[in-house]
Copies of this chain bind each other. A is one copy, B any other.
Amino acid sequence: METTHLSQHISSRFNEDLEAVRADLLAMGGLVEEQLRRSLAALADADSALAGEVVRDDAKVNRMEVAIDEECLRILATRAPTAGDLRLIVAIIKAITDLERIGDEARKIANIALRLATLERPADRYREIRHLGRLVEGMVHDALDAFARMDVDAALRVAQHDRHVDEEYESIQRQCVTFMMEDPRQIRRTLDVTWAARALERVGDHATNIGEYVVYMVHGEDIRHTRIEEVETRIRPRADESDEA
């Protein structure tokens, strides 16, 4: 009985550790979402003060990454987790790198907002960028939600949205080229718009990575570099196939 109590006690402490580090990841994700949201608002509203806050708060994101990384290492060293617990820790170690880089992209957008705020705003307040921004904000939110609920279907949907982001991004690039050709005096400003679009496209990639870690965590299968259709075929129940047969 003593031993059982002790091992239950250790196991419950271990679960608390895992739960705490998972909560820290989601808190970091919340801050990164906020950074992204504010950087896009700063761009649309030519709000230099808000852009300055985003640049300043990037240090908070970085500190959270280091703290979570250290906590994961402590758990690996002291608890020697295996199977699903090990995959959770490794998924967190990987996901915080992507979250930190989403934070970097938000900081880049804020820096672009600072430059653009000194120029006259276009009447549409960078409509295409705002549209692309909403798409990738949704992806980041869904990826974190999928992580929180270990929801593989939701995680796979993130990767599907990434195609729309890539299409939207290509479309903005084409528009910008046309615009620069028509009015070379706008090249500097237009290049800044292309950099902002590129930053958002990269945020979409990082959200997709986080979605892939969820699948890896739940299924123990590495779906990176696998076509999303193949993954869906492998993971989803075979019911649809037998219906067709």
Contact = CB atoms under 8 A, between A and B. Distances in A.
Interface in A144-190: 173, 177, 180-181, 184-185, 187-188
A142 interface: no
Contact of A86 (B63, B69, B76, B177): B76
Interface string A45-73: 00000000000000100110110011001
Contact of A73 (B59, B62, B77, B86): B86
A83 B224 CA distance: 29
A83 B80 CA distance: 12
Contacts of A76: 76, 86, 90
A188 B176 CA distance: 10
A90 B87 contact: no
A88 to B, nearest CB: 12
A222 interface: yes
Contact of A187 (B66, B87, B181, B188): B181
A94 interface: yes
A191 interface: yes
Nearest to A180: B187
Grouping DSSP codes into helix (H, G, I), strand (E, B) and loop, the A interface class, with mixed when no group exceeds half, is helix
Interface residues of A, number: 33
B177 A188 contact: yes
B90 A225 contact: no
Contact of A59 (B62, B184, B225): B225
A66 B224 contact: yes
A93 interface: yes
Interface of A: 59, 62-63, 65-66, 69-70, 73, 76-77, 80, 82-83, 86-87, 90, 93-94, 97, 173, 177, 180-181, 184-185, 187-188, 191, 194, 198, 222, 224-225
Given A63-B225, A93-B93, A187-B187, 10 more contacts: A65-B224, A65-B225, A70-B222, A73-B86, A90-B93, A93-B94, A94-B97, A181-B185, A181-B187, A184-B184
